[in-house]
Every structure is written in structure tokens, then in C-alpha cells.
């Protein structure tokens, strides 16, 4: 997450030792560790909850899904197409 290497951590520890002193540094480090752990747990819970909500919506079909446009067809429109033949155009036998 922060991409801190060994030497950066060592320098931060040295600065903290000089500023806070050897008595307060362990307590402050413990507090910072707890805060970081709490933040990590909160982020993990939030991510899990959002993923489960999205899965529920997708399974129910609650997600937005645009409808496909329907083709409009009117009665007799097929007769107007070139090469179309209808039952009325076929010759019928007449019994005389």
C-alpha cells in the first residue's frame, strides 16, 4: 500500500526515537498499529459488504438492463416485400 522499504522504515524509527524518546515510542507505535489494523478491517468489511450487495442485485435482476427494441410489424406488411408470395396469389384449381 505505502511501498516503504527497510531503510525508509529505519529512518522513520530513528526520527520517532529522537522526537518521542525511548519511553513513549513503543506506546505510540502500538497505537498507530491499532489504528492501521482498525482501518484495514473497516475497509475489508466495506468491500465485502459492497460486493455482496452487488451480487444480490445482479442475481435478482435489480441492475439496469436496457430493453431491446421490438420490431414493429403490421398485418400484411410481409406482402409488400419483393419476392414475397402469399396464399392468395397461388393459383387454385377450379372445378367446372
* pLDDT on residue 12: 87
Q: Residue ranges per domain, the chain?
A: 26-61
pLDDT tens track, the chain, 96 positions: 567 788 898 898 889 889 988 899 889 889 989 999 999 999 999 999 988 888 776 666 555 566 676 666 666 666 666 665 555 555 555 565
The pTM of this model reads 0.46
* CA nearest to 20, candidates 29, 31, 8, 10: 29
Amino acid at each position: 500500500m505505502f511501498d516503504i522499504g527497510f531503510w525508509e522504515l529505519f529512518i522513520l524509527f530513528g526520527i520517532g526515537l529522537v522526537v518521542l524518546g525511548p519511553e513513549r515510542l513503543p506506546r505510540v507505535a502500538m497505537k498507530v498499529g491499532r489504528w492501521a489494523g482498525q482501518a484495514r478491517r473497516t475497509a475489508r468489511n466495506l468491500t465485502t459488504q459492497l460486493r455482496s450487495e452487488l451480487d444480490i442485485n445482479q442475481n435478482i435482476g435489480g441492475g439496469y438492463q436496457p430493453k431491446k427494441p421490438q420490431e414493429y410489424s403490421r398485418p400484411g406488411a410481409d406482402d409488400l416485400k419483393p419476392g414475397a408470395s402469399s396464399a392468395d396469389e397461388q393459383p387454385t384449381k377450379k372445378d367446372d
